[in-house]
A and B are shown apart, each in its own frame.
Chain A
Amino acid sequence: MIRVASVILGAWVALALVALAWPDAVVNLDQALALPGSPHCPFGCDALGRPLGRLIAEGALTALIIGTGTVLLAGTAGVVLGAGAALVGGWLEQVVMRITDVLLAFPGILLAIAITAVAGPGRMTIIVALSITGWTGYARLARGETLRLRESAFVEAARVAGAPRAAILYRHILPNLLAPVTVQATFAFAGAVIAESSLSFLGLGDPTAASWGSLLAEGVRHLRAAPHLSVIPGLVISAVVLALNLAGDALTERFDPRRETAAGQPG
């Protein structure tokens, strides 16, 4: 399964890179709604005669940028706030964790819709909007893990040796947070791709760039004449999200300490 996931994710990144080099799609009304297999566009054309393959590639780039941006922004903020809350404690911990509770209780996509509606559509807006709710998952994870690690005997041993707090954070806590946060980030990446598609499906995406969600929305209008316009973007979204979730499962297994023990017996 992890092979399938790697191939899909690799194709996704390759497609995004292709989009960077590919000249802008040209409107060609002669080819409007052309079916797949036509000479001008092998994957069919949209209502303006632009090749669908070109648009999907552009959508791949959009999804990759927004997914990566969201994971980096939300992940950094979440880990810093969660680990910081656990280490500092007191009122800071209370405030951070109560905000987390409130945001987790709130439907994230609704908040993102509200934010993009107010701030105006654009890639940066979507990244920020998705991160505002997305950091909470990382924060919870990082806080829990940090609390556990802080009490662990190897951290106590470091304290008895006289290690200052910063050294404990840097040498003992962060390296041990890396594995669970990476797993969380992979699943969150899938969530960000879906969220980005949903926002652009609703017309709240970046209007200057094609997105899988906006292609899907566009295709729905021509469902009978040109079903490929909605089916292909839909399949692409499903494949990418499935691949990310498979990768997340594989990483969970990879980082399982019991597995490490079994794999690394002395001898």
Chain B
Amino acid sequence: MNDPVQPILAVRNLTVQFPLRRRPGQPRRHVHAVRGVSLDIAPGETLGLIGESGCGKSTLARAIVRLAPITSGEVYLAGNPWHNLPERRLRPLRPAAQMIFQDPWSSLNPRMRIGRIIEEPLIVQKRGDRDERQATVARVLEQVGLHPDDAGKYPHQFSGGQRQRIGIARALVLEPQLLLADEAVSALDVSVQAQILNLLADLRAEHRFSMLFISHDLRVVEQVSDRIAVMYLGKIVELGSPEDVLDHSRHPYTRALVEAVPEIDARGRRRVILGGEPPSPINPPRGCAFAGRCPRAQDRCHTEDAVLTGDDHQVACHYPLTEDPG
């Protein structure tokens, strides 16, 4: 990356491993959830992260905000190292990166009023006095399309889409530089999805935050992202602009993902049929993780892992698809 602007988020060779219960007579094994991910997000940029469930995309986001333990690697937020700070020193920096959660039903405390839910981050960060905080809450509620009077209600009085708006308001109230949206619209109806995506676009235009937008839904990611990263078994296998990644996919896995989406099927001129399942993250293969399912795999793919290479359009594949296939 020879970007002259300092990135808001810089992740360097990040790995996350979860230890498994030790079996007698065996060395301790680990789930390799994230296996050496590096990426940058520029100010105001939205990076879309796609991949099937279990590929480690949620864990990556959770590790960035230190909800999941970082095994090795580095995370910098606006140039400040985050990966090695103890919680006490991290706390005052935390407003910079906030998160929107997948499930609008479990992400709001059922015994707290909306106003209190949105005010809590301000209380935790000791921002302003009570009146100032409530004025902020009222303002943010309006920004996400709710009424200031809703502050007195409880979460169960709202629909899924409204609850997701409340979750967004809670994330925005600290004016973060980076918003991590982990499957933020996946639990919603399609029509409500569109409303929330439009809301996020409006808020982005106004507040100019960067976003890591995680989804398994290509159409949603394509709609919001400036760049797209494709993740497979804990690694990024392709990274680039939406046109590059989706229309001119170079990694066979990305191609298979694109062709699995019915609406944009016309893009794929040859259909790649994917058999099998991703390998186990407990015992990842030595070579390319995708080799076992890949129609283009050669002997080398099974023994030697591919590294992400390229400038604007990066791909981790020994035998990438040519720019304009057949």
Minimum C-beta distance from B199 to chain A (A):
18
A264 to B110, CA, bound (A): 12
Knowing A157-B167, A176-B110 touch, does A264 contact B174 (C-beta < 8 A)?
A: no
Given contacts A261-B156, A264-B154, A264-B157, contact A152 B106 (CB under 8 A): yes
Inter-subunit contact A153/B110 (CB<8 Å) = no
Is B120 touching A266 in the complex (CB atoms < 8 A)? no
- What residue in chain A is nearest B65 (Cβ atoms)? A160
Closest to A156 in B: B67
Stretch at the interface among A17-25, A162-170, A183-191, A217-225: A162-170
Interface size class of B (residues with CB under 8 A): 35 or more
B174 neighbours in A (Cβ, 8 Å): 161
Main secondary structure of the interface of A (DSSP, over half): helix
Q: Is the CB of B112 within 8 A of A157?
A: no
Interface segment among B69-77, B89-97, B235-243, B270-278: the answer is: B89-97
| Pairwise interchain contact A158-B92, C-beta atoms closer than 8 A | no
Chain A residues lying within 8 Å of B90, measured Cβ to Cβ, are 162
Flag if B125 contacts A153 (CB, 8 Å). Answer: no
- Which A residues between 140 and 161 are near B, CB-CB below 8 angstroms? 152-154, 156-161
Cα–Cα, bound, A162→B156 (Å): 25
Q: Is A257 interfacial (CB-CB < 8 Å)?
A: yes
Cβ contact within 8 Å between A257 and B156? yes
Separation in Å of the A148 CB from the closest CB of chain B?
10
Question: Is B121 positioned at the interface, with any CB of A under 8 Å from its CB?
Answer: yes
Q: Is B109 an interface residue (CB 8 A)?
A: yes
Chain B nearest CB from A173 CB (Å) reads: 10
Question: Is B111 among interface residues, defined by CB-CB distance under 8 A?
Answer: yes
A101 CB–B CB distance under 8 Å = no
Docked Cα-Cα span, A73 to B156, in Å, equals: 33
| Given A157-B99, A264-B154: 6 more A-B contacts, CB < 8 Å | A160-B65, A160-B67, A161-B98, A162-B121, A162-B124, A171-B120
Nearest 9 pairs between A and B by C-beta?
Answer: A153-B107, A161-B121, A162-B94, A162-B91, A153-B101, A154-B109, A175-B111, A163-B124, A261-B156
Residues of B within 8 A of A (CB): 62, 65, 67, 90-92, 94-95, 97-99, 101-103, 106-112, 117, 120-121, 124-125, 153-154, 156-159, 162, 167, 170-171, 174
